[in-house]
Amino acid sequence: MSVERVYLFDTTLRDGAQTTGVDFSLEDKRAIAALLDKLGIDYVEGGYPGANPLDTAFFSEKRTKNAKFTAFGMTKRAGRSVSNDPGVSALLEAEADAICFVAKSWDYHVHVALETTLEENLAGIHDSVEAARAKGREVIVDCEHFFDGYKANPDYALSCARTAYEAGARWVVLCDTNGGTLPHEVMEIVRAVTKVVPGAHVGIHAHDDCGCAVANSLAAIEAGARHIQGTLNGLGERCGNANLITLIGALKLKDGYASRFELGVTDEALGGLTHVSRQVDEILNRQPNRHAPFVGASAFATKAGIHASAVLKDPRTYEHVEPEVVGNVRKVLVSDQGGQSNILAELKRCGFDLEKGNPRIARVLDEVKRKEAQGFAFEGADASFYVLVKRMLGEVPAFFDVERFSVNVERRYNAMGELVTASEAIVKVRVGDEILISAAEGNGPVNALDVALRKDLGKYQNLIQDLELVDYKVRIYQGGSDAVTRVLIEFTDATGERWTTIGVSANIIDASFQALTDSMIYKLLKGGATL
């Protein structure tokens, strides 16, 4: 049986940005694009250049190495030429490999939303695709509201798809924009489309308003489509988009798909699926869905009882796939075997070469469990995990010792009569036999502490001189009067490497200080510092 290629298109950074409570920073977008690129996604849609300063800045340079970096925007407006449309011009000027045009394919929307004729809408699709092709861009056309449009006027919906394809679009994507279409309808309509546009050029963009986005995407594949659009963890407006994490698991691991279709996601990358899913949540400061298929913390969890007994005898009794293949872990309360496997995988991923059965693995596992009980989460803080393991292996020299620090926050009126808040930090550090005391002001207590800590580290100062704090996130791990605060800090240096550390405490300053010192120790370890 011949194996066919299915292409994955991620719209987390565009459609996912419409999720309630999700706001991407430029650094968030950069980090997620890198995750997608490494995972093996074929197309990474970065946003809508020209629509807002953030997306315009993001498209000032290409953000992927392997995936096709894709810009999103509308086809030309009615009554304008392509050359006189600022939206199309912004797309053509963007540093992108591909352009994804959104086009109306429901006659009702053409008349009401665009207030133009059906013929003018078709001309807009044709001219926009031709213009992008002339600029050397691969073109994708998202036929918005296609399934509703097909039900209302199948001839016109099909003419939109045909026009896009004949103008040179690589992919004609059928969008279930309102998310109300069911799998049997998707199969029927996609089959009808493939009689007009070859399936090797047809895609699906499903929303999850009926809880069927993943099922609808798989139904489209069965009906002949070979391109799936979705988001990491199902992010998206209203109820979200098709969850690419779940779709990757299904297409790579389930009978009937794995043998028939090939993805850009390798088996090795599949092993990092859980890590990718949880790291995205950490970047966005969201609590991961414990019950998410394949990657949730409870996806392979079994409580004690007859299920646990059966799983211990043979995991296949209650598991549809092996958790390790997606980087997850089996959780059976009477056994920690799965936990050791997970730790072993994490150690390997972070560059530690410890063989299975090494007693130090169990000690690391116990320490990680102890830390997690306190509120630590190492999925999004690889540098802290690296430092933790290095300490347990006795491979962290006593570079420096912070004997004390203090932070003062004062609210006062300045000489101009303006009410301002000033922060000042003092840090006392011992480096070998040398005592160093540094003071610094900052635009907040954490900034002041960061500046003071890195102001003078004696003989190690030259190694940390290029450190730059690029992101800072806070999450309340436990509520109530005894709330525990989790702080994640991302650093970079002159080499371009980025790493994240974590601190946990009832005191936000103390939690921040833990993360700051871990970052400096990580930098010194990677820089080859010695006593």
79, containing H or E segment: none
Provide the whole-model pTM.
Answer: 0.75
CA atoms of 224 and 220, how far apart (whole Å): 6
**Residue 311 pLDDT:** 55
Residue 259 CB: number of other CB atoms within 10 A?
Answer: 10
Residue-wise pLDDT tens for the chain (531 aa)?
A: 689 999 999 999 999 999 999 999 999 999 999 999 999 999 999 999 999 999 999 999 999 999 999 999 999 999 899 999 999 999 999 999 999 999 999 999 999 999 999 999 999 999 999 999 999 999 999 999 999 999 999 999 999 999 999 999 999 999 999 999 999 999 999 999 999 999 999 999 999 999 999 999 999 999 999 999 999 999 999 999 999 999 999 999 998 899 999 999 999 999 999 999 999 998 998 888 989 999 998 888 765 444 545 655 667 666 789 999 999 877 643 233 445 656 776 777 778 888 777 888 888 888 888 888 888 888 778 899 999 999 999 999 999 999 999 999 999 898 899 999 999 999 999 999 999 999 999 989 999 999 999 999 999 999 999 999 988 999 887 666 667 899 999 999 999 888 999 999 999 999 999 999 999 999 999 999 988
Residues 6+ apart with CB under 8 A from 109: 144, 145, 149
∠240-41-137 over CA atoms, to 5°?
100
515 close to 469: Cβ distance less than 8 angstroms: no
| Spatial CA neighbour of 280 closest among 72, 69, 500 | 500
Convert 38-67 to b/e letters by CB count within 10 Å (16 or more is b): ebbbbbbbbbbbbeeebbbebbeeebbeeb
Amino acid letter, 221: I
Burial class (CB in 10 A: 0-12, 13-18, 19+), 34: middle
Burial class (CB in 10 A: 0-12, 13-18, 19+), 398: exposed
Place of tokens 């116990």: 366
What are the DSSP E strand ranges found in 414-495? 419-431, 434-442, 468-478, 484-492
CA atoms of 157 and 397, how far apart (whole Å): 67
Burial class (CB in 10 A: 0-12, 13-18, 19+), 349: middle
CA atoms of 123 and 117, how far apart (whole Å): 10
C-alpha separations of 427 from 119, 422, 437, 447 in Å: 71, 17, 6, 13
How are strands ordered across the β-sheet holding 401-413? 401-413, 419-431, 434-442
What are the DSSP E strand ranges found in 350-442? 401-413, 419-431, 434-442
149 close to 108: Cβ distance less than 8 angstroms: yes
505, containing H or E segment: strand 498-505
| Six token digits for residue 501 | 């550390």
CA atoms of 325 and 305, how far apart (whole Å): 26
**Residue 1 pLDDT:** 63
SS3 content of the chain, % helix, strand, coil (to 5): 40, 25, 35
**Residue 326 pLDDT:** 95
Amino acid letter, 390: K
Q: Alpha carbon 136 to chain centroid distance?
A: 28
Burial class (CB in 10 A: 0-12, 13-18, 19+), 509: buried
28, containing H or E segment: helix 26-39
DSSP three-state, residue 231: strand
**Residue 335 pLDDT:** 32
CA atoms of 102 and 164, how far apart (whole Å): 11
CA atoms of 453 and 435, how far apart (whole Å): 13
110 close to 125: Cβ distance less than 8 angstroms: no
388, containing H or E segment: helix 382-392
∠296-299-304 over CA atoms, to 5°?
130
For residue 325, what is the DSSP state? G
